[in-house]
Amino acid sequence: MTGSLNVALFGSKFMGRAHSNAWLKVGRFFDVDPVPVMHTVVARNAGEVDQFARRWGWQHSSTDWQAVVSSDDIGLVDIGTPNDVHAEQAIAALEAGKHVACEKPLAGTLEDAQRMAEAAQAAAGKTFVWFNYRRVPAVALAHRLVAAGALGRIYHVRAAYLQSWGGPETPLLWRFQGDVAGSGAHGDLNAHIIDAVCFVTGEEIVTVEGAVEHTFIEEREILAGTSGGEIAGAGAATAGAKGRSTVDDAVLFLARMSGGALASFEATRLATGYHNANRFEIHGERGALRFDFERMNELHVYSLDNDPAVQGWTTVDVTRAGSGHPYVEAWWPDSHGLGYEHSFINQASDILTDIGGRQPPFALPDFADALQTQRVLHAAIESARNRSPVDVADI
């Protein structure tokens, strides 16, 4: 296949910027086919979306997503809007014959996620979900090492996603409104580490053995006008009144993996001292791995195959294309580290590879994969509220 693919992006905030940068840069660092054309960006405010389009290189802007979905000009719809509208927009795009890439979590509710996965099964277009941490070179290398048997049988997994931006000074953004977001730190952060753990280990979560959810800050300042900073609402004007936060601030749960490993997951927006500590450890019979996104260019490896006299954790600088480190051959010389934005560009390349009929180097999550993650999220909340184990297969 040789040609171009017109992309329409829905959303012009945090994820709108990340996705725009990916489509803008991917053809400059990867040999992609089809080549993406940044055709139309869609958002609610006409003035803001016009300015966004000019800044990021979109040819057109619109406030009418339905018209854009039905346009014959568009081949891929990229959804970066709040969770409550994912289902309506994605299903309409699939029914119009488009490929669809959607932000995570797949939807605000399990019911919406199920509808999206059913629509994907019946559609001609391909589906993708932006679990971008799979495309961090160190995480992809961890997947490759586990698949090659470096750890042997897996015994333990512990994963945590720790942020601190959700303190009492943070206003009542959409992420704290349950009817829009669906959940708080759980859907936003646990979704990422569930997907990452399943990707790296090659196993699924089969049972949630126990869980706890908690909302520490029950009321927040109501916004007056724009939302301010990208996540925390820094600088946003408030109305001088408070409204109720209807999502969790933290969720922790214990689980069993399909290969028998025991696992723990923790997500919070109130981990003072951590800004974006997306981390996991995996321990097996022959070795172990650990990763922390706050040092994203490093993977820590422990192997029992090493001489006991020098056995210990090895810090691998995952920036060397000549050593077979995933994706870095497209980027910079050794030890010129990558950043957050590169994971999106790497994924954009793989999306285009898949649409072009070729095999990307690592599996891309589709709507069916994201639905399984959504089932685990739902099982954890059910376990927390009922104080009982939950089999994911029953969800």
Instruction: Give 306-322 pLDDT, tens digit per residue.
Output: 999 999 999 999 999 99
Q: Which of 192, 190, 162, 147 is nearest to 284 (CA)?
A: 147
Give the DSSP letter string of 55-95.
HHT-SEEES-HHHHHH-TT-SEEEE-S-GGGHHHHHHHHHH
Condensed to tens digits (0 to 9), the pLDDT of residues 197-213 reads 999 999 999 999 999 99
Location of each CATH 3.40.50.720 domain in the chain: 4-132
191-194, long-range: CB within 8 Å, 24+ apart, which pairs? 191/104, 191/105, 191/131, 191/373, 191/374, 191/377, 192/104, 192/131, 192/133, 192/161, 192/278, 193/159, 193/160, 193/161, 193/265, 193/267, 193/278, 193/280, 194/159, 194/265, 194/373, 194/376, 194/377
Stronger pLDDT, 189 or 1, i.e. the higher one? 189
Q: With bands split at pLDDT 50, 70 and 90, how would you rate the model's confidence at 227?
A: low
Would the pLDDT of 236 be above 80? no
Query: pLDDT averaged over the chain?
Result: 96
Three-state DSSP class for residue 104: coil
Mean per-residue pLDDT, 252-279: 98
> What's the mean pLDDT in 25-49?
97
What is the location of CATH 3.30.360.10 in the chain?
134-385
Residue 240: what pLDDT? 82
What is the token pair recorded at 6? 């017109």
* Homologous superfamily in CATH for domain 134-385: Dihydrodipicolinate Reductase; domain 2 (3.30.360.10)
Give me the sign of the Cα torsion angle 302, 278, 370, 37: negative
Of 47-56, 236-245, 251-260, 337-346, the range with the lowest mean pLDDT is 236-245
Mean pLDDT score, 319-329: 96
Report yes or no: 91 and 112 within 8 Å, Cβ to Cβ: no
CATH code reported for the domain at 4-132: 3.40.50.720
Please state, for a pLDDT cut of 70, what percent of the chain lies above it: 97
Q: What SS3 state is found at 149?
A: coil
Average pLDDT over every residue of 44-66? 97
Q: Which of 28, 45, 47, 44 is nearest to 36 (CA)?
A: 28
Distance between terminal CA atoms of the chain? 40
For residues 225 and 261, the model is more confident at: 261
Residue 393 CB contacts under 8 Å (≥ 6 apart), including other chains: 206
0.85 surpassed by pTM: yes
d(CA 153, CA 165): 37
Taking the CA atoms of 57, 5, 11 and 218 in sequence, report the sign of the dihedral they define: negative
pLDDT digits (tens, 9 = 90+) for 354-389: 999 999 999 999 999 999 999 999 999 999 999 999
The set of residues, in sequence order, having a beta carbon less than 8 Å from that of 259 and lying 6+ positions away, is: 153, 154, 201, 203
The backbone torsions φ and ψ at residue 224, rounded to the nearest 5 degrees and listed phi first, read: -125, 95
Q: pLDDT tens digits for 84-119? A: 999 999 999 999 999 999 999 999 999 999 999 999
* pLDDT given at position 48: 94
- Note the pLDDT of residue 1: 61
Expressed in percent and rounded to 5, the helix, strand and coil fractions of the chain are 40, 25, 35
pLDDT tens per residue across span 283-307: 999 999 999 999 999 999 999 999 9
Q: How confident is the model at residue 2 (pLDDT cuts 50, 70, 90)?
A: confident
What pLDDT is attached to residue 230? 65
**38 sits in which H/E element:** strand 35-42
3-state secondary structure of 332: coil
- 161 pLDDT band, cuts 50/70/90, is very high
* pLDDT bracket for residue 4 (50, 70, 90): very high
Q: State mean pLDDT over 341-357.
A: 98
| Contacts with 256 (C-beta within 8 Å, 6 or more apart), sequence order | 205, 206, 207, 209, 262, 263
- Cβ-contact 75, 96 below 8 angstroms: no
Kindly report the length of the chain. Answer: 395
Structure confidence by residue, pLDDT tens digits, 117-139: 999 999 999 999 999 999 999 99
Check residue 228 and give its pLDDT. 56
Distances in whole angstroms, Cα of residue 16 to Cα of each of 3, 62, 119, 177:
24, 14, 24, 20
- Read off the tokens for 357: 């009929």
| pLDDT at residue number 123 | 98
